[in-house]
Amino acid sequence: MKAAVCRSFGQPLQIEEVTLAPPSAGQVHIRVDACAICHSDIAFIDGTFGGDLPAVYGHEAAGRVIALGEGVSDCAIGDHVIATLMRSCGTCGHCMADHPTSCSKPYDRMAQSPLRDAAGKQLEHGMAIGAFAQEIVVDQSQIMAVPAQMDMDVASLLSCGVITGFGAVTNSARMPRKARVVVIGAGGVGLNTIQGAALNGAEQIIAVDLSHDKLDVARDFGATDCLISDGTLVARVMALTGIGADFVFVTVGAISAFNIAPDLLAPRGEVIIVGMPPVGAKASYQPVNLASASQAIRGSKMGETVLARDIPMLLDLYQRGALKLDELISNRYSLDQINEAIADTKSGNAKRNVIVFD
């Protein structure tokens, strides 16, 4: 099969013929129909998060099941599914407590990878999925069925961008109705945070970005106010809210956003860290302010999603016309055009670009 292989950090991906091992016990073999491009993929490609090379990245995928390993009973050949990076054992303390995104069982993405190049060399199984490829083999815990009539490019968005933003609101923040919310970053994840807050009854949703065009889109997804990020941001948020935000969601990886987020909080407010800065990057804040106002900072990995619980809910919202998914797709590309798609994503103009396979 063909896959886009990263052989040098920061360099264009190479389309190569690679081999994929058949599914072993508990694994599922999927023919990929679509894979959206996430900024986390780009961070890995650029070497921001480290890892081994050569590698196949891509983790926001949808496709059809074509083979099953021994013991797989939750899906059947021919099922339409999304495939995520959330590989979970189901038996560790975190998994048993319904926190599979924090599964404590290690997975060696190189030693346990099902991928090899034409010379027989192991390829890293990027983010435990490697979906910039025509086919993938993943653990059964990483998939969830979607309706057969659903467009697969649209379905692929549920594998990361949607659940990360929406879940940050519903699972990590457990945002109550009538909350005042600030969302820093109006890209793909930020838009899903915005519409998650809107659909869950936020009273005020302030979108913050550097781009007027992105803020115009944010209004379509439920933002009540839009602010360009500059040196007056704190004063303007305070003027709009009167007291500050109950929740500030940071959906970008810029350290400046992490530094300013606590200053936007109301008493008892929370900063929810969704975006992923480079490894080693450090933010600063004044702990005394958090302590005196009973405020908090917490992280949100993949929206702390539980696939079996959250995907049916999101599908129901989409089928009722409440959840915007189609509107998130900016452009569609073939696998051979993946470097063009990555460049367009890096430009900041796209909500989500999707690789569509034949």
Same domain, 235 and 99: no
Say if 263 falls within a structural domain. Answer: yes
Same domain, 154 and 113: yes
In this prediction, residue 288 has a pLDDT band, given cuts at 50, 70 and 90, of very high
Say if 309 falls within a structural domain. Answer: no
Q: CA dist 327 to 10, 161, 186, 188, 191, Å?
A: 30, 13, 14, 10, 10
Same domain, 135 and 15: yes
Strand-pair category, 265-273 with 296-299:
parallel
Residue 349 has pLDDT above 90, yes or no: no
Same domain, 7 and 154: yes
Same domain, 18 and 102: yes
Residue ranges with strand state E in 210-328: 225-228, 245-250, 265-273, 296-299
Say if 319 falls within a structural domain. Answer: no
Structure tokens at 343: 């460049």
Q: What is the tens place of the pLDDT at every residue in 16-41? A: 999 999 999 999 999 999 999 999 99
For the chain, what's the residue count? 358
Q: What is the CATH number of the domain that holds 265?
A: 3.40.50.720
Same domain, 227 and 339: no
Q: DSSP string spanning 111-127?
A: TT--EEETTS-B-EEGG
Work out the percent of the chain whose per-residue pLDDT is above 90: 96
Distance of CA 160 to the CA centre of its chain: 3
Number of domain units in the chain: 2
Say if 313 falls within a structural domain. Answer: no
- For 69-88, the three-class secondary structure string (H helix, E strand, C coil) is CCCCCCCCCCCEEEECCCCC
Say if 315 falls within a structural domain. Answer: no
Write out the residue range of the structural domain in which residue 84 sits. Answer: 2-159+325-356
Closest CA to 53 of 122, 112, 7: 7
Same domain, 150 and 23: yes
Say if 308 falls within a structural domain. Answer: no
What pLDDT shows up at residue 350?
Answer: 84
Say if 141 falls within a structural domain. Answer: yes
Same domain, 349 and 238: no
What pLDDT shows up at residue 57?
Answer: 98
Say if 268 falls within a structural domain. Answer: yes
In this prediction, residue 353 has a pLDDT band, given cuts at 50, 70 and 90, of very high
Instruction: Identify the domain boundary among 300, 316, 341.
Output: 300
Residue with tokens 């490697």: 130
Residue 348 has pLDDT above 90, yes or no: no
What's the rounded mean pLDDT across residues 321-329? 96
Q: What is the tens place of the pLDDT at every residue in 231-247? A: 999 999 999 999 999 99
Same domain, 147 and 173: no
Residue 352 CA to residue 200 CA, distance in Å, equals 23
What pLDDT shows up at residue 77?
Answer: 97
User: What average pLDDT does the chain have?
Assistant: 96
Q: What is the CATH number of the domain that holds 332?
A: 3.90.180.10
Pair 127, 137: CB distance under 8 Å = no
Q: What is the tens place of the pLDDT at every residue in 39-91? A: 999 999 999 998 899 999 999 999 999 999 999 988 999 999 999 999 999 99
Same domain, 18 and 130: yes
Structure tokens at 139: 């653990």
Same domain, 123 and 73: yes
Residue with tokens 């190569």: 16
Same domain, 244 and 210: yes
Pair 345, 353: CB distance under 8 Å = yes
Structure tokens at 145: 């069925």
Q: What is the tens place of the pLDDT at every residue in 106-116? A: 999 999 999 99
